[in-house]
Amino acid sequence: MPAKRKAPRKAAADACDDEAAAEAKQFERTLRANRQVAAGQGPLPPGTTHVEEKDEKGRTRLKRKRFSAV
Protein backbone atom coordinates (compact mmCIF):
# COMPACT_ATOMS: atom_id res chain seq x y z
CA MET A 1 0.00 0.00 0.00
CA PRO A 2 1.49 3.45 -0.94
CA ALA A 3 2.33 5.80 1.90
CA LYS A 4 0.00 8.74 2.37
CA ARG A 5 1.46 12.17 1.89
CA LYS A 6 0.99 14.63 4.69
CA ALA A 7 -0.39 18.05 3.87
CA PRO A 8 2.13 20.89 4.35
CA ARG A 9 1.90 22.57 7.68
CA LYS A 10 0.15 25.92 7.57
CA ALA A 11 2.68 27.53 9.92
CA ALA A 12 5.51 26.63 7.55
CA ALA A 13 3.59 28.08 4.60
CA ASP A 14 2.87 31.29 6.51
CA ALA A 15 6.54 31.63 7.44
CA CYS A 16 7.50 31.36 3.77
CA ASP A 17 4.93 34.00 2.84
CA ASP A 18 6.25 36.35 5.53
CA GLU A 19 9.82 35.80 4.38
CA ALA A 20 8.88 36.39 0.73
CA ALA A 21 7.00 39.58 1.63
CA ALA A 22 9.96 40.90 3.62
CA GLU A 23 12.30 40.12 0.73
CA ALA A 24 10.01 41.91 -1.74
CA LYS A 25 9.86 45.00 0.48
CA GLN A 26 13.65 45.07 0.76
CA PHE A 27 13.97 44.77 -3.03
CA GLU A 28 11.57 47.69 -3.50
CA ARG A 29 13.50 49.83 -0.98
CA THR A 30 16.73 49.05 -2.83
CA LEU A 31 15.22 50.05 -6.19
CA ARG A 32 13.91 53.31 -4.74
CA ALA A 33 17.18 54.10 -2.95
CA ASN A 34 19.03 53.70 -6.25
CA ARG A 35 16.44 55.80 -8.13
CA GLN A 36 15.44 52.98 -10.46
CA VAL A 37 11.67 53.51 -10.10
CA ALA A 38 9.81 56.00 -12.30
CA ALA A 39 6.38 57.33 -11.44
CA GLY A 40 3.85 58.32 -14.07
CA GLN A 41 3.54 57.74 -17.78
CA GLY A 42 5.83 58.48 -20.67
CA PRO A 43 9.39 57.61 -21.53
CA LEU A 44 11.63 56.37 -18.74
CA PRO A 45 14.31 58.73 -17.50
CA PRO A 46 17.92 57.51 -17.74
CA GLY A 47 18.79 54.89 -15.14
CA THR A 48 15.25 53.81 -14.30
CA THR A 49 14.27 50.19 -14.80
CA HIS A 50 10.85 49.89 -13.14
CA VAL A 51 7.55 51.81 -13.16
CA GLU A 52 4.73 51.96 -10.62
CA GLU A 53 1.43 50.56 -11.85
CA LYS A 54 -1.95 49.90 -10.24
CA ASP A 55 -3.30 46.37 -10.48
CA GLU A 56 -6.97 45.42 -10.82
CA LYS A 57 -7.39 45.52 -7.02
CA GLY A 58 -6.00 49.06 -6.82
CA ARG A 59 -2.67 48.06 -5.27
CA THR A 60 0.53 49.72 -6.41
CA ARG A 61 2.95 47.30 -8.04
CA LEU A 62 6.41 47.69 -9.55
CA LYS A 63 6.86 46.41 -13.08
CA ARG A 64 10.20 46.02 -14.80
CA LYS A 65 10.33 47.83 -18.13
CA ARG A 66 13.98 47.42 -19.02
CA PHE A 67 17.33 46.18 -17.76
CA SER A 68 20.26 48.34 -16.81
CA ALA A 69 23.90 47.29 -16.63
CA VAL A 70 25.68 49.29 -13.98
The predicted-structure confidence for 19-29, as pLDDT tens digits, reads as follows 898 999 999 99
- pLDDT-derived band at 40 (thresholds 50, 70, 90) equals confident
pTM, two decimal places: 0.67
Per-residue pLDDT, averaged over 32-40, amounts to 90
The one-letter amino acid at 63: K
Strands 50-54 and 37-38: parallel
Q: How do residues 48-66 score in pLDDT, each as one tens digit?
A: 999 998 888 888 889 999 9
Indicate the DSSP class of residue 36: -
The one-letter amino acid at 34: N
- Residue pair 41/54 in contact (Cβ under 8 Å)? The answer is no
d(C-alpha 33, C-alpha 21), whole Å? 18
